[in-house]
């Protein structure tokens, strides 16, 4: 099945910098446009959204410290409204805004969605090598997770090379055919996100690293003191939002199907009110660490999460 790549942070860095944009499928968009051209609207394309109880399986490929894995697993657990952080604004509150998409969809089935962390698989010995392709290797790794009512998330370490990583994308989401279950085949959703710490933090971990292009403002302090992992959280959050609202390429998005701008990637570089190109917005700052964030998670974790496009108002909605 087709994969929808996310160059979410690449979009942020080149927005209005006189370069080109990379969209959620590595689409390049010229900065200039014909003033008479009609805008492409963000709209619903009548396809299914992910509904019901969905398990999130994490496939760790390469070397990750236990503390790094905890950053991601605590984020996933924080999404569930059944165990929200007691401190606001929270990750659960950010995720709850996704419900607007379900209210606007034409699905006759249940519109509820519940995410939960399930299996974590470690592949620390690089079973497929250190140079991978999305279409072959990432899909193969994603297939190791559950294939029924699941989103399988492949996370690659900083020493793993992925085709197109850094040059056109920071991650991908898509769908693949599952094994036959009870005589029937079905699709399962998958996500891939790479750790850009040593390869391209200025592209895929902004605003925690100076961008390669554009205004060279001082980088923000990462909330979990890990530029690579905090950058991965931004991309993972963006891709999760895109996965549940456009899992099979006919849900909510803007632009062409092959290169859609989705729930989060339609709001590049926006994290808080007052954001503009090169400035993430008026974020919260931890008085002890000086870290910038906009969402509280479980176990005392703090995160920086992207703005989500509000389909009911056609604006980018932020937590702060």
**Residues 244-283 pLDDT 10s:** 999 999 999 999 888 899 999 999 999 999 999 899 999 9
Nearest to 15 by CA among 227, 313, 306, 279: 279
Buried b (16+ CB within 10 A) or exposed e, 22-55: bbbbbbeeeeeeeeeeeeeebebeebebbbeebb
215-241: average pLDDT: 95
Nearest to 7 by CA among 26, 31, 20, 29: 26
Say if residues 261 and 41 touch (Cβ distance below 8 Å): no
Residue 211 confidence (pLDDT): 87
Say if residues 174 and 260 touch (Cβ distance below 8 Å): no
Say if residues 5 and 169 touch (Cβ distance below 8 Å): yes
Residue 170 confidence (pLDDT): 95
234 by Cβ neighbours in 10 Å (0-12 / 13-18 / 19+) ranks as buried
Q: Which residues 6+ apart lie within 8 Å of 50 measured at CB?
A: 113, 151, 189, 243, 244, 247
Q: Is the pLDDT of residue 37 over 70?
A: no
Collapsed DSSP state (helix, strand, coil) of residue 236: helix
Distance (Å, whole) CA 189 – CA 167 = 24
Distance (Å, whole) CA 154 – CA 138 = 7
Q: Is the pLDDT of residue 154 over 50?
A: yes
* Alpha-carbon Rg for the chain in angstroms: 18
Q: Is the pLDDT of residue 309 over 90?
A: yes
Nearest to 156 by CA among 135, 136, 130, 175: 130
Residue 184 confidence (pLDDT): 65
Average pLDDT, the chain: 85
Query: Sorting pLDDT into bands at 50, 70 and 90, what band is 214?
Result: confident
Residue 85 confidence (pLDDT): 56
Q: Is the pLDDT of residue 93 over 80?
A: yes
Least confident of 44-48, 118-122, 181-185: 181-185
Indicate the pTM of the whole model. 0.88
CA dihedral 164, 201, 24, 127 (to 10 degrees): 50
Query: Sorting pLDDT into bands at 50, 70 and 90, what band is 82?
Result: low
Please provide the DSSP assignment of 71-137 as one string: HHHHHHHHT-TTS--SSSSBHHHHHHTTHHHHHHS---S---EEEEEEEEEEETT-TT-SEE-IIII
Which residue has better confidence, 279 or 5? 279
CB atoms within 10 A of CB 260: 25
Collapsed DSSP state (helix, strand, coil) of residue 12: helix
Q: Which residues 6+ apart lie within 8 Å of 151 measured at CB?
A: 50, 54, 55, 56, 57, 115, 188, 189, 190, 191, 240, 243, 244
Q: Which residues 6+ apart lie within 8 Å of 35 measured at CB?
A: none
């Amino acid at each position: 099945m087709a994969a929808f790549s996310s160059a979410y942070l690449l979009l942020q860095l080149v927005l209005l910098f006189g370069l080109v944009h990379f969209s959620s499928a590595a689409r390049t968009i010229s900065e200039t446009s014909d003033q008479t051209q009609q805008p492409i609207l963000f709209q619903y394309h009548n396809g299914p959204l992910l509904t019901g109880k969905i398990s999130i399986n994490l496939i760790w490929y390469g070397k990750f410290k236990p503390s790094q894995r905890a950053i991601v697993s605590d984020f996933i657990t924080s999404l569930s409204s059944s165990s929200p952080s007691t401190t606001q604004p929270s990750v659960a509150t950010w995720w709850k805004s996704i419900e607007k998409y379900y209210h606007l969809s034409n699905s006759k089935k249940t519109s509820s969605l519940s995410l939960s962390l399930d299996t974590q698989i470690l592949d620390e010995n690089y079973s497929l090598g250190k140079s991978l392709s999305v279409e072959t290797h990432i899909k193969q790794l994603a297939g190791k997770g559950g294939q029924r009512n699941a989103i399988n998330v492949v996370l690659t370490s900083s020493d793993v090379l992925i085709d197109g990583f850094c040059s056109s994308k920071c991650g991908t989401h898509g769908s693949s055919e599952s094994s036959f279950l009870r005589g029937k085949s079905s699709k399962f959703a998958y996500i891939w996100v790479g750790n850009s710490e040593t390869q391209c933090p200025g592209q895929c971990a902004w605003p925690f690293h100076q961008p390669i292009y554009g205004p060279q403002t001082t980088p923000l302090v990462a909330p979990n003191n890990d530029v690579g992992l905090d950058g991965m959280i931004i991309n993972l959050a963006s891709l999760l939002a895109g996965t549940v609202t456009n899992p099979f390429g006919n849900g909510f998005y803007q632009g062409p199907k092959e290169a859609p701008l989705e729930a989060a990637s339609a709001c590049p570089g926006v994290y808080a009110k007052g954001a503009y190109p090169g400035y993430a917005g008026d974020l919260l700052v931890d008085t002890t660490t000086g870290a910038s964030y906009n969402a509280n998670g479980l176990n005392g974790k703090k995160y920086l999460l992207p703005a989500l496009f509000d389909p009911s108002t056609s604006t980018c909605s932020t937590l702060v």
